[in-house]
Amino acid sequence: MGLFNFGRKSKLGIDVGMSSIKIVELSRESGRYKLENYGLFELESSVTAAGEKTAPVSDQDIIRGIKETLKRSKTKTLDAVASIPSFNTFATVITMPYLSEADIAKTIPYEARKYIPIPLNEVVLDWSIINVSPPSAGPVLPSEKVKKIKPPTVEIFIAAVPKGETQRYRAIMKEAGVNLRALELENSALIRALIGNDLSPAAVINIGGRSSSTLIVENGFERVSHNYEVGGFEITRSIARALNVSLQRAEELKRSLGLKSVDSNVITQAMSSLVDLIVFETKKIIHNYEDVKKTRIAKVFLVGGLANMPAFLEYFAARLGLSVSAGNPLARVISPPALEPLRKELNATLAVAIGLAMREI
């Protein structure tokens, strides 16, 4: 779908998260994507020494981070697609009687009001038809000699972003010297990078620095998405409190020990309750979707910085009770052999940026 499209094809994907900026540059070679450059910039922690949150990262900090990352990575282009964080967007799938596309376009604003909690004149609204169900025969009623024919229906994916957010990101990219060609929902980029053309139901768990999300995908589109404010930073803070160490030291311990099953692993004890909360939310979302849609989600993908922690994926899968795979957005990307040792880390960290760079304009 052509969401917030501003111009021609882009080669840069810019993912501005709450704790870091990720930039990926892709080109096309023999019909495949090729990794040209990538860069990461850690945004300064907006917390006190005691681990309490203060002011959020400013737009000027983001602009400085983008400029610095582009300079360090020596990208060959400034044409870019940037992401809008999922917690700043509204997205849903609705079912309507089958209409012509012109009639659907007229009806969408009225239907969207039921799902979007702010006035429509304050958002950029886009939609796409994702499925059409043919007419079907209903049950024969005692008073009828023929079956009632149910009219065809259409499923429509609706997405909306507050105009203030789109204007903000356009201003950030312009001041950073980037030629912004499109803004895209973070979840749409994840789907492109991880799911591709697979139409079967799947779940994507994205554990970021400040928050986590569970995304249900079917027929290539977002069906359900839930965000919760538990992420890598909260886990680091829990470790710091349990061991009475600095946040920096807690982060080092988290990355080195993770959830390894070793005797007296206080790190595991400090982390497990928060990780179990993420698992609980994920399990609830998956089961609810399966119950409502009468389907089964057999594929679960895990991305985000925590996916690289020792024993994290195995622990998460055991608690979830499902097979969980590490997301592999570089599967369709040609990359230099020298990056092979970093492939696992890059897959987890750059998933959204890779999906953005894959977008055709």
**DSSP track, 254-306:** HHHHTT---TT-HHHHHHHHHHHHHHHHHHHHHHHHHHHHT----EEEEESGG
Structural domain includes residue 134: yes
Structural domain includes residue 174: yes
Residue environment code for 203-216, b if the CB has 16+ CB neighbours within 10 A, otherwise e: bbbbbbbbbbbbbb
Structural domain includes residue 7: no
Number of domains comprising the chain: 1
| Mean pLDDT of the chain, nearest integer | 86
pLDDT given at position 51? 47
Structural domain includes residue 332: yes
What's the token pair of residue 175?
């001041």
Contact 166, 183 (CB under 8 A): yes
Structural domain includes residue 3: no
pLDDT given at position 157? 92
CA-based R_g, the chain, Å: 22
Tell whether the model's pLDDT for residue 10 goes beyond 60. no
Neighbours of 184 (CB within 10 A): 24
Contact 202, 220 (CB under 8 A): no
pLDDT given at position 262? 63
pLDDT given at position 310? 87
Query: Euclidean distance between the first and final Cα of the chain, in Å?
Result: 10
Domain residues for the domain of 247 are 12-358
pLDDT given at position 142? 56
Structural domain includes residue 145: yes
Tell whether the model's pLDDT for residue 2 goes beyond 60. no
Tell whether the model's pLDDT for residue 141 goes beyond 90. no
In this structure, of 43-47, 196-200, 282-286, 357-361, the range with the lowest mean pLDDT score is: 43-47
Structural domain includes residue 79: yes
pLDDT given at position 131? 84
What's the token pair of residue 67?
């400029």
The average pLDDT across 100-114 equals: 90
Using CA atoms, how far apart are residues 309 and 110, in angstroms rounded to an integer?
Answer: 46
- What DSSP string describes 227-249? EES--HHHHHHHHHHHHT--HHH
Calculate ∠ Cα 321-323-329, nearest 5°. 140
pLDDT given at position 144? 57
Tell whether the model's pLDDT for residue 7 goes beyond 80. no
User: Between residues 327 and 258, which one has the greater pLDDT?
Assistant: 327
pLDDT given at position 3? 52
Contact 40, 16 (CB under 8 A): no
pLDDT given at position 256? 84
Structural domain includes residue 5: no
The average pLDDT across 20-29 equals: 91
| CATH number for position 81 | 3.30.420.40
Closest Cα partner for 196 from 330, 345, 5? 330
Query: Tens digits of per-residue pLDDT, 90-103?
Result: 888 988 888 888 89
Query: Tens digits of per-residue pLDDT, 50-78?
Result: 445 545 789 999 999 999 999 999 898 99
Query: Tens digits of per-residue pLDDT, 183-196?
Result: 999 999 999 999 98
Among 2-16, 137-151, 210-224, name the most confident range. Answer: 210-224
Using CA atoms, how far apart are residues 161 and 234, in angstroms rounded to an integer?
Answer: 27
Using CA atoms, how far apart are residues 228 and 189, in angstroms rounded to an integer?
Answer: 19
In this structure, of 18-32, 62-76, 274-288, the range with the lowest mean pLDDT score is: 18-32
Query: Tens digits of per-residue pLDDT, 155-173?
Result: 999 999 999 999 999 999 9
Tell whether the model's pLDDT for residue 28 goes beyond 90. no
Using CA atoms, how far apart are residues 333 and 359, in angstroms rounded to an integer?
Answer: 13
265 burial level (CB within 10 Å; 0-12, 13-18, 19+): middle
Q: Where are the alpha helices (DSSP H) in the chain?
A: 59-73, 101-112, 163-175, 186-194, 232-243, 247-257, 266-293, 312-320, 343-349, 351-358
Residue environment code for 329-360, b if the CB has 16+ CB neighbours within 10 A, otherwise e: bbeebebeeeeeeeeeebbbbbbbbbbbbbbe
What's the token pair of residue 158?
């609706």
High-pLDDT (> 90) share of the chain, % = 48
